């Protein structure tokens, strides 16, 4: 009796992350000292990782947060360049 070996290749194509919303809006106005909260909702498989970056006038890039929500406790002039959400 002949024997056969079977090999199964299961390919899994993850869903690329997609940003569903960033809020509260694309531009946020705040008074110095205000608490500001920015959110980013995204989906994908595997689950997206969040990173909020701020590019300074000197071209230096700061990592401001790594969660879905970025909370700035007391807004200052240093925060006036709005960060971008990166997945």
pLDDT per position as a tens digit, 39-62: 888 888 888 888 888 877 777 888
Q: Is the model's pLDDT at 28 over the cut of 60? A: yes
* pLDDT, mean of residues 14-33: 79
15: exposed, middle or buried (Cβ count in 10 Å: 0-12, 13-18, 19+): exposed
Taking phi over 0 as left and psi of -120 to 50 as alpha, with beta for the rest, 33 belongs to: left
Q: Which residue ranges form the domains of the chain, and what is each CATH number?
A: 18-86 (2.60.40.10)
Comparing 13 with 36, which gets the higher pLDDT? 36
Instruction: Select the more confidently predicted residue: 35 or 22.
Output: 35
The band of 10, judged by pLDDT with boundaries at 50, 70 and 90, is low
d(CA 57, CA 62): 11
The answer, yes or no, to whether residue 81 has pLDDT greater than 80, is no
């Amino acid at each position: 009796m002949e024997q056969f070996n079977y090999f199964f290749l299961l390919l899994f194509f993850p869903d690329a992350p997609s940003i569903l919303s960033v809020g509260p809006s694309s531009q946020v106005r705040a008074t110095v000292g205000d608490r500001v909260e920015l959110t980013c909702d995204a989906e994908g498989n595997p689950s997206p990782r969040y990173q909020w970056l701020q590019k300074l006038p000197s071209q230096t890039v700061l990592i401001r947060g790594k969660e879905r929500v970025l909370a700035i406790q007391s807004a200052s002039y240093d925060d006036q360049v709005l960060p971008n959400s990166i997945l």
